[in-house]
Structure 1
């Protein structure tokens, strides 16, 4: 099988990111399967038809159930709001379709486990969308750790800082409603940090956290697109039912200590998704706002030249970069999605599970809920307590 016929549910922020990745993949990774962008699906007929024409899909549809049942679709790509993930994924698996689902995988750990069980029972491939894993600099960080070049890992510090809802009159978008989003900065931003920590240094053992909702109510929106929205500040207001900021401390199974901070109330930080890892032989630092760079420090450097060095992860020696531009020519946010769908299609081609899979989505959800329990009960919570 050299082609994969894709049906995608969702057409806004992530829909555009996924569509761009599918379109770029054959040009830069010609040895993988060719994605056929068959059907894009959304509830608003005019909106999804516009997306179809703009993004390059063959057809537009408004009923995801009909899409899932079609015989000419091999993969269902789910990037609709979080409350829709479970139902679509279960139906796709039952129909024998491979499933690619954005994060967080579900609104609850129980739902995430049900999605994983359904995919495994159906024997389909399943992937969850943690795209930040696929930055070449992050891949380099993982290699340095796996090769033992940082020695024993002592600390993971992660922070994901944004500022797009600092204005108290910013409308009440779906991401601020628990029944749709599941949680706020914790599940949206913190989930990426949790996955990053697991990807780099291993499983969480126990956690303790705190959170706050700074703005309790907001004007109801008249329109929403991605992370933007329109609304009148004098419109009726609705309650914000998710966290604006969540911080937690962690202990990892390896014995390393961790701290993770996720907030949408950090003025001046548009998308500061960053981490620092300290080990017995060195340290690394990464900030997605400078995503092509990894700061690296080794303790065995000569004393007179010790210090963090900037590694520009754009050489062919770095993951994925031989597919792009000459050394030193940087790539961007959208390329992480191209790398992500490359992994997905290669896994399907080679009959293996892609990574990250629904297993990773379930493990991330377990940490998210352990933090929420620790906040509610004001105590350390072992992650295994939720299994």
Structure 2
């Protein structure tokens, strides 16, 4: 089968995972790399066996390289829009990290370009590929829970807690990220709700900065934090399901805890990254008699992100793949959360 020649933009910590995931599939060949860090560019280029002429300081040159079939972008938020724009202009398929853009205005401009020249695209909402979440979606769509009345989604981490003494890094820089926890973790919660239930109709939100300053590791001086590290909102979906969302970087004991609980007329379902291969299903066997079962996820729900990206490049992508419009709609909801928190009102979408 055909191998796809990949240009990889961004050689930081997360790139290690993407390189590993591509290697597992066996149909990707990284032929070019790009990064603004010359040391990383040289070191990773040597590790991957990339010739010096295919190591680009300017990502536009990588995108336009005729030897690159598709682009994988693993970068901070402030260059997401520029990289997507370059791929659209070059007509080059791409997989780009979330959030889709830094701010919604960038997403609107990209949509105009995309409508003029669509390109095969995948946005990195990787939790669509957690088996438990895929099985939960299947059960909801099959009506196994009956009518879904409400749900809760949370995504908690603890690396920002006071006791962790986390210094000021780029994820706390508003000029780079746009938001904090909201764009980083909240974008996954929003995508999970859309994956399970469809579009948002309205929401009401609050965003907070719980740890208001952190030490700069270079100077030791305290830096004021201008992005959120806690966000919560409630929403109504297109099927009138109502949901509660919570995300924090200050939840001690939560290493990477992304989970959903779904409440339907015929039972309750729990799925979590803490147990990605099983779901918990609670239902009434008889009036007043509850049965709780831990169910193994079937093999058909084990789909990899890079396996799905191959399907996209092969021209046979399924409807569950997070594409360009999923990125755009996600950014639209992120913007609604920001406006709701700032204006202290319910926002309709």
TM-score interval (norm. to shorter): over 0.9
Tell me which residue corresponds to 2:82.
Answer: 87
Runs (5+) with no aligned partner, structure 1 = 27-33, 223-233, 322-338
Take 1:341 and 1:104, find their aligned partners in 2: how far apart are those partners?
Answer: 18
Tell me, yes or no, if structure 1 residue 237 matches structure 2 residue 203: no
Take 1:342 and 1:199, find their aligned partners in 2: how far apart are those partners?
Answer: 18
Tell me which residue corresponds to 1:327.
Answer: none
SS at match of 2:282: strand
SS at match of 2:291: coil
Tell me which residue corresponds to 1:358.
Answer: 324
Tell me which residue corresponds to 2:176.
Answer: 180
Tell me, yes or no, if structure 1 residue 349 matches structure 2 residue 314: yes
Map residues 300-339 of structure 1 onto 2, 5 A cutoff: 301-302=285-286, 306-313=290-297, 315-316=298-299, 318-320=300-302, 339=304
Offset at residue 368 of structure 1 (A): 1.1
Q: 1:65 aligns with which of 43, 60, 63?
A: 60
- Give the direction of change, closer, same or farther, for the CA distance of 1:55–1:220 in structure 2 (3 Å limit): farther
- Give the direction of change, closer, same or farther, for the CA distance of 1:345–1:57 in structure 2 (3 Å limit): farther
Take 1:273 and 1:352, find their aligned partners in 2: how far apart are those partners?
Answer: 26
Contact kept, 8 Å, 1:130 with 1:356, in 2: the verdict is yes
Offset at residue 305 of structure 1 (A): 6.9
Offset at residue 103 of structure 1 (A): 0.4
Take 2:111 and 2:292, find their aligned partners in 1: how far apart are those partners?
Answer: 41
Take 1:218 and 1:57, find their aligned partners in 2: how far apart are those partners?
Answer: 38
Tell me which residue corresponds to 1:252.
Answer: 237
SS at match of 2:19: helix
Q: 1:261 aligns with which of 241, 246, 256?
A: 246
Tell me, yes or no, if structure 1 residue 203 matches structure 2 residue 196: no
Q: 1:102 aligns with which of 88, 93, 97?
A: 97
Take 1:210 and 1:50, find their aligned partners in 2: how far apart are those partners?
Answer: 43
Could you list the per-position Cα deviations for residues 118-157 of structure 1 after superposition, in whole angstroms to 9, with x for gaps in the alignment?
A: 2343332011100001111111111101111111111120
Offset at residue 13 of structure 1 (A): 2.9
- Give the direction of change, closer, same or farther, for the CA distance of 1:114–1:157 in structure 2 (3 Å limit): same
Take 2:62 and 2:193, find their aligned partners in 1: how far apart are those partners?
Answer: 36
Take 1:277 and 1:13, find their aligned partners in 2: how far apart are those partners?
Answer: 34
Tell me, yes or no, if structure 1 residue 289 matches structure 2 residue 246: no
Tell me which residue corresponds to 1:194.
Answer: 190
Tell me which residue corresponds to 1:40.
Answer: 33
Contact kept, 8 Å, 2:155 with 2:247, in 1: the verdict is yes
Runs (5+) with no aligned partner, structure 2 = none
Of residues 163-172 and 206-215 in structure 1, the stretch that sits farther from structure 2 once superposed is 163-172
Take 2:166 and 2:214, find their aligned partners in 1: how far apart are those partners?
Answer: 7
Contact kept, 8 Å, 2:153 with 2:261, in 1: the verdict is yes
SS at match of 1:218: strand
SS at match of 1:154: strand
SS at match of 2:16: helix
Take 2:121 and 2:79, find their aligned partners in 1: how far apart are those partners?
Answer: 16
* TM-score (norm: length of structure 2): 0.93
Could you list the per-position Cα deviations for residues 55-85 of structure 1 after superposition, in whole angstroms to 9, with x for gaps in the alignment?
A: 6766533221211121111111111100001
Paired positions, count: 345
Offset at residue 302 of structure 1 (A): 4.6
Tell me which residue corresponds to 2:22.
Answer: 22
